[in-house]
Chain A
Amino acid sequence: MSLQVRLNIPRKDFAINVSLTVTSGQITSVFGPSGCGKTSVMRAIAGLENSATGHIQMADEIWQNADYFRPPHQRDIGYVFQDASLFPHLNVYENLQFGRRRQAKDNRRVSLEQAIELLALSPLLSRSVDKLSGGEKQRVAIARAVATSPSVLLFDEPLAAVDIQHKQEILRYIQSLHQELDIPMLYVSHAIEEVARLSDNLVLMEKGQQLASGKTVDLLSQLNLPFARYEEAASVIDTEVTGHEDDYGLSLLRFAEGHIRVTRGQLPLGHKVRLRIVARDVSLTLTKPQDSSILNIFPAVVESMVSDGTALKLVRLNAGGQIILSRVTAKSAEKLALKPGLHLYAQVKAVSPLI
């Protein structure tokens, strides 16, 4: 199943033009600064944006085209809003029941028990919703959307109103939904960490226009996109656990022709892990260092580089097929005579597994 969207939404200052596809089992992120039109796109998919024109199709069902508009309550979606918007007159369990009771019985593919279990809500079921914390509210809102067995799940900045301690927790729940359910998901955010962590595909928006779209892993390491200018510019790598060094509490993950070590000894073998390597944690040397404290050192080739202000350069490296970004000073770049095609060694000081 896949959701195909082609939209034009007029706005006062600019028009929004987007075309995207979300497929089963994948999380597609729409990323861009606040006010770029991401939320309008989500609302239009849900049928809440009256001025939107275009074509929206879920599998072979048309939701909207030039002469048809399916009202929101007949679109098979689960929508998680920024603020949880729980119904204040219903308790947690009744909130969960709300959409589900209105869904035809033969369309109930996700059981209520499954939704409750996935979001760990059993202890909260009889609570009144105003007795919940921000994170708990959002978990209820997610479960309420999931319990309707939607054909697509839409997340509109679901972490915006959640305090920082609970953001990680909610992200883990969303990841587990992604693993357990075969529902295509669309995730809108202006937080690059969330997007880097969750999404398989990425649509980059600016002022209503689609700047780029493709695999998250590919886009984040492109030097010509705004990501390269972020303080936290980083490459993201999908890999899996291939071994352990139990004496040191390290796990080995497949990387290039060898492996990369992370300080998480307990990761199970074969476990899929997404790594994030921040560009400023990668330094470069021309010869292989023999006496470094850094464990992760890889031979690499400079692919391209771009100035990042006057003092810094961002370098894109190919390490045996894996792309890593490195941020070095312009002075070091000159000293090492960095140029495309140069063979060198990348020292990765810190790797964060995104789990």
Chain B
Amino acid sequence: MMHPDLTALLITLKLAAITTLILLLIGTPLAWWLARSQWRFKFLIETVIALPLVLPPTVLGFYLLIMLGPNGPIGGLSEAMGGRPLAFTFTGLVIGSVFYSLPFVVQPLQNVFTAIGDNVMEQAATLRASPLDRFFNVMVPIARPGFLTAAVLGFAHTIGEFGVVLMIGGNIPGETKVVSIAIYDHVESLEYAHAHILSGGLLLLSFLMLMAVYGLNRRFSVLRS
């Protein structure tokens, strides 16, 4: 039997990895659209995406709980398709994390897509590259620093979430109990030694990831200037 703290850590990392992957898949087209669209009400979408930046996580968590529960649209859909309601499940956590970390992935991507501009893509078009070809062989490599930032911020921010998890995931060991919840539990039961180990671990992990982003992006920007 694995130590419960280690289990919590593995769940946290799995949650962050799956969330980041999903966010890159949906965030890339979304950011591309935001960077290129001339639609006059685009700012409404941008506002919605940015909401998790300012909303108390408990508020976001509360609405997610209602949506994911058996009477909510998402939970109800899941039940109708023969599944169970998504509140208090790992899948529910993934859905919540995707909303919670969305701006951290979309904004860096939107910024880098905007900064790169149309010129280089138009040039690629006149050099016989089809739309997909020029996206993957021109835009993606040039936007690499943006993708790196987006992935690491999305990952790190998901690891750090607490309020949303508490509201929609609860505290089910082995399924939804993540490190931040485990730390809270340890402190409540006055197990400071355990809390120290987990907190120190998260601190170090977050520091290393951010350092990697800033360090690598500096190298990229030197190459690109």
Chain A residues with CB under 8 Å of chain B are: 46-48, 71-75, 77-79, 81, 83, 85, 87-89, 98-99, 102-103, 128, 130, 144-145, 148
Contacts and interface: CB of A to CB of B under 8 A. Distances in A.
Interface of B: 119-120, 122-131, 133-134, 138, 141-142, 144, 223-225
B109 to A, nearest CB: 17
Residue among B119, B127, B224 with max Cβ neighbours from chain A (10 Å) = B127
B126 A72 contact: yes
Given A87-B120, A148-B128, 20 more contacts: A48-B125, A71-B125, A72-B125, A81-B122, A85-B122, A85-B123, A88-B142, A89-B138, A89-B141, A98-B127, A98-B129, A99-B127, A99-B128, A102-B128, A102-B129, A103-B128, A128-B223, A130-B225, A145-B126, A148-B127
Given A88-B224, A130-B225, A73 B130 contact: yes
A87 B142 contact: yes
Nearest to A72: B125
A78 B128 CA distance: 10
Contact of A85 (B120, B131, B134, B144): B120
B121 to A, nearest CB: 9
Nearest to A76: B128
Contacts, number: 69
- 5 A-B pairs with least C-beta separation: A99-B127, A102-B128, A79-B126, A85-B123, A72-B125
B151 to A, nearest CB: 18
Given A89-B142, A130-B224, A48 B122 contact: yes
A98 to B, nearest CB: 5
A77 B144 CA distance: 29
Nearest to A99: B127
Contacts of A81: 119, 122-123
A74 B126 CA distance: 8
A61 B124 CA distance: 22
B220 to A, nearest CB: 10
A79 B123 contact: yes
A73 B129 contact: yes
15 contacts: A48-B126, A73-B125, A73-B126, A73-B127, A73-B131, A79-B126, A81-B119, A88-B120, A89-B138, A89-B142, A99-B126, A99-B127, A130-B223, A130-B225, A145-B127
